[in-house]
C-alpha cells in the first residue's frame, strides 16, 4: 500500500456525521439517510464574527437587465468558507468574484462530490432587499451535504454571511418584473487525492447572478418529451437531494429531446410511466374531477422527487385556497393531492377535456406552464391561457411573485436590507 493511500485512509473521516438539524429535516421531509450517528460538536462550525472582507477595486460594468442570459453574469464578490477534517469550518471570506484554485486531484473533479442550492434576492420599490424562505434552502443544503458525506454546518450562520454578501452587491439586483438576483451556494470536496471516501477538505462558496427568465423563450409555455429511455432518479437513489451528480446524466437526454423539437424532458418512471419531474423542475397537473371540482396533483416526496421550495410554496398556497383563503383570480374549488400520476391518466384526461393544465415549478424557472407533451409517437396537447399561464398556475404565480417581491406582505419574505 502506498504512503499517500495510507495517509488518505488515516485522514478520511471515519463515517458520515449527521448533525441534529439534518436529522430534523430528514424526519419532516420524509427523506431517509443511510447513516445517523455522532454530531460534529467537536469541530468548529461556521463563525460569522471571523468574516474577512476583501473589496474589489475595479467594479465590473453591469449589463442592462433586459439583455441578461440566465446564469451568465456574476456580481463583484463571492463568499468562500474552507473546511477541514482537523479543524472544521475555517475563516469565511467575502472576496472579489474570480477563479478558485483547485488541485487536479481534488475529489470533486473525479467523483462529483458537489451539492448546490438555488435562492433568489429581490429589491422592492422602496429599495428593501429580501430573500424568499431562505431557511428552507439552508436545511436542504445540510441534507444534501450529509447524503454525500460532505460536512454539515450551521445554516443560520451561512445565511448571515449570504446576507452580508448580498448587501455588498445589492446594486446588482435587477428590478424589472420577473428579474432577481439568483444566489448559488455550492459545496465541493477538495481533498487532494485519488480515492473514493468522505473528504478531508471541502469548500463552501456562494456566488450571485442577476437573472431574468430561466428559459430562452422568456416566460412562455414549454414543450416536454415523455422520456422513458433514461431515468433521472430511482427508488433508493439520490433524486431527493440537490446534488450535482443528479444533473449531468440529464444533459444528453435533454439534448436528444431538443433535437426532436421539445424543450425539456418529462421524466417518466417505471413500466407504468409515472410522472416524476420536468427537466430541472417539480411538476404539477390540474385535473377536472367528475363533480366538476379541480384537483391539483403533484408526485409525493417518495425519495425520487426534489423537495422544492417553490413546490412547497405552491402546495401551501393551493391548500390555503381550498381552506377559504382564496387566491386572487381563482374562483374554482380545488383539492390538493400529493399522489402518483401515470402518463396514461394525463393522456386520458386530455382526450376527455378533463386536463386543465400542467406546469413545472422551481426557483430558477418560478412557474413554467407546459403546452404539449410528446409521448409514444404523438403529442398530448395541454391547454394554456391567452397569456400562456393556466387558470391555477396564473393566480399561483401572481401570489408567489407578489410574496417574493414584497408587493404582497408575507413572512416568507425576509427583509435583509433597508434602504
* Site residues for ligand COI per CB under 6 A: 118, 280, 362-364
Report how many helices (DSSP H) and strands (DSSP E) the chain contains, helices first.
9, 19
Residue pair 144/247 in contact by the 8 Å Cβ criterion: no
How far apart, in whole angstroms, are the C-alpha atoms of residue 170 and residue 69?
Answer: 19
Residue with cell 417574493: 404
Residue nearest to ligand COI (CB): 118
Taking Cα atoms as reference points, which of 105, 97, 80, 79 lies closest to residue 190?
A: 105
Kind and range of the H or E run holding 225: strand 222-227
Shortest reach from residue 242's CB to ligand COI, in Å: 7
Q: Toward ligand COI, which CB reaches closer, 88 or 362?
A: 362
Shortest reach from residue 243's CB to ligand COI, in Å: 11
Q: Toward ligand COI, which CB reaches closer, 16 or 204?
A: 204
Q: Give the DSSP per-residue string, 5-48.
A: HHHHHHHS-SS----HHHHHHHHHHTPPPS-----STTSB---G
Q: Toward ligand COI, which CB reaches closer, 209 or 356?
A: 209
Q: Toward ligand COI, which CB reaches closer, 12 or 227?
A: 227
How far apart, in whole angstroms, are the C-alpha atoms of residue 419 and residue 410?
Answer: 19
Strands 264-269, 274-278: pairing kind: antiparallel
Shortest reach from residue 397's CB to ligand COI, in Å: 15
Taking Cα atoms as reference points, which of 54, 52, 40 lies closest to residue 89?
A: 40
Residue pair 108/145 in contact by the 8 Å Cβ criterion: no
Residue pair 297/345 in contact by the 8 Å Cβ criterion: no
Q: Toward ligand COI, which CB reaches closer, 237 or 383?
A: 237
Taking Cα atoms as reference points, which of 23, 33, 22 lies closest to residue 153?
A: 22
Shortest reach from residue 31's CB to ligand COI, in Å: 17
Question: Exposed/middle/buried for 86, CB within 10 Å: 0-12, 13-18, 19+?
Answer: exposed
Kind and range of the H or E run holding 338: strand 334-338
Q: Give the DSSP per-residue string, 39-89.
A: -STTSB---GGG-EE---SSPPPPPPGGGPPTTS---SEEEEEEEETTTEE
Shortest reach from residue 359's CB to ligand COI, in Å: 14
Shortest reach from residue 220's CB to ligand COI, in Å: 17
Shortest reach from residue 309's CB to ligand COI, in Å: 9
Shortest reach from residue 170's CB to ligand COI, in Å: 20
Q: Toward ligand COI, which CB reaches closer, 250 or 391?
A: 250
Q: Toward ligand COI, which CB reaches closer, 314 or 364?
A: 364
Q: Toward ligand COI, which CB reaches closer, 43 or 256?
A: 256
Q: Toward ligand COI, which CB reaches closer, 118 or 174?
A: 118
Shortest reach from residue 118's CB to ligand COI, in Å: 2
Residue with cell 397569456: 387
Question: Exposed/middle/buried for 110, CB within 10 Å: 0-12, 13-18, 19+?
Answer: middle
Q: Toward ligand COI, which CB reaches closer, 17 or 257?
A: 257
Q: Toward ligand COI, which CB reaches closer, 224 or 334?
A: 224
Shortest reach from residue 364's CB to ligand COI, in Å: 3
Shortest reach from residue 363's CB to ligand COI, in Å: 3
Identify the DSSP state of 210: E
Reading the block at residue 198, the C-alpha cell is 468522505
Amino acid at each position: 500500500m502506498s504512503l499517500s493511500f495510507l495517509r488518505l485512509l488515516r485522514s478520511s473521516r471515519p463515517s458520515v456525521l449527521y448533525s441534529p438539524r439534518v436529522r430534523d429535516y430528514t424526519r419532516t421531509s420524509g427523506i431517509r439517510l443511510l447513516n445517523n450517528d455522532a454530531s460534529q460538536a467537536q469541530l468548529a462550525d461556521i463563525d460569522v464574527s471571523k468574516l474577512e472582507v476583501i473589496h474589489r477595486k475595479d467594479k465590473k460594468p453591469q449589463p442592462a437587465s433586459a439583455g441578461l442570459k440566465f446564469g451568465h453574469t456574476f456580481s463583484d464578490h463571492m463568499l468562500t468558507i474552507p473546511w477541514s477534517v482537523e479543524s472544521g469550518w475555517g475563516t469565511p471570506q467575502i472576496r472579489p468574484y474570480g477563479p478558485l484554485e483547485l488541485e487536479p486531484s481534488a475529489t470533486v473533479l473525479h467523483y462529483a462530490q458537489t451539492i448546490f442550492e438555488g435562492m433568489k434576492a429581490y429589491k422592492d420599490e422602496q429599495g428593501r432587499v429580501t430573500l424568499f424562505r431562505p431557511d428552507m434552502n439552508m436545511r436542504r443544503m445540510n441534507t444534501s451535504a450529509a447524503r454525500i458525506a460532505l460536512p454539515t454546518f450551521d445554516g443560520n450562520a451561512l445565511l448571515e454571511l449570504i446576507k452580508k454578501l448580498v448587501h455588498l452587491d445589492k446594486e446588482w439586483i435587477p428590478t424589472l418584473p420577473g428579474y432577481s438576483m439568483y444566489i448559488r451556494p455550492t459545496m465541493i470536496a477538495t481533498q487532494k487525492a485519488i480515492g473514493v471516501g468522505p473528504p478531508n477538505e471541502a469548500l463552501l462558496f456562494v456566488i450571485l447572478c442577476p437573472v431574468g427568465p430561466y428559459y430562452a423563450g422568456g416566460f412562455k409555455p414549454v414543450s416536454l418529451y415523455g422520456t422513458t429511455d433514461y431515468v433521472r432518479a430511482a427508488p433508493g437513489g439520490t433524486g431527493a437531494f440537490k446534488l450535482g451528480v443528479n444533473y449531468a446524466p440529464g444533459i444528453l437526454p435533454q439534448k436528444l429531446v431538443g433535437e426532436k423539437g421539445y424543450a425539456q424532458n418529462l421524466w417518466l418512471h417505471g413500466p407504468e410511466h409515472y410522472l416524476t419531474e420536468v427537466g430541472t423542475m417539480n411538476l404539477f397537473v390540474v385535473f377536472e374531477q367528475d363533480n366538476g371540482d379541480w384537483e391539483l396533483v403533484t408526485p409525493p416526496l417518495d425519495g425520487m422527487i426534489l423537495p422544492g421550495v417553490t413546490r412547497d410554496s405552491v402546495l401551501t398556497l393551493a391548500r390555503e385556497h381550498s381552506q377559504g383563503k382564496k387566491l386572487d383570480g381563482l374562483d374554482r374549488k380545488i383539492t390538493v393531492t400529493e399522489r402518483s400520476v401515470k402518463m396514461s391518466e394525463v393522456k386520458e384526461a386530455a382526450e376527455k377535456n378533463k386536463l386543465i393544465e400542467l406546469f413545472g415549478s422551481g426557483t430558477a424557472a418560478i412557474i413554467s406552464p407546459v403546452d404539449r407533451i410528446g409521448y409514444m409517437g404523438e403529442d398530448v396537447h395541454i391547454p394554456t391561457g391567452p397569456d400562456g399561464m393556466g387558470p391555477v398556475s396564473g393566480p399561483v404565480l401572481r401570489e408567489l411573485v407578489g410574496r417574493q417581491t414584497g408587493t404582497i406582505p408575507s413572512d416568507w419574505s425576509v427583509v435583509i436590507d433597508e434602504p
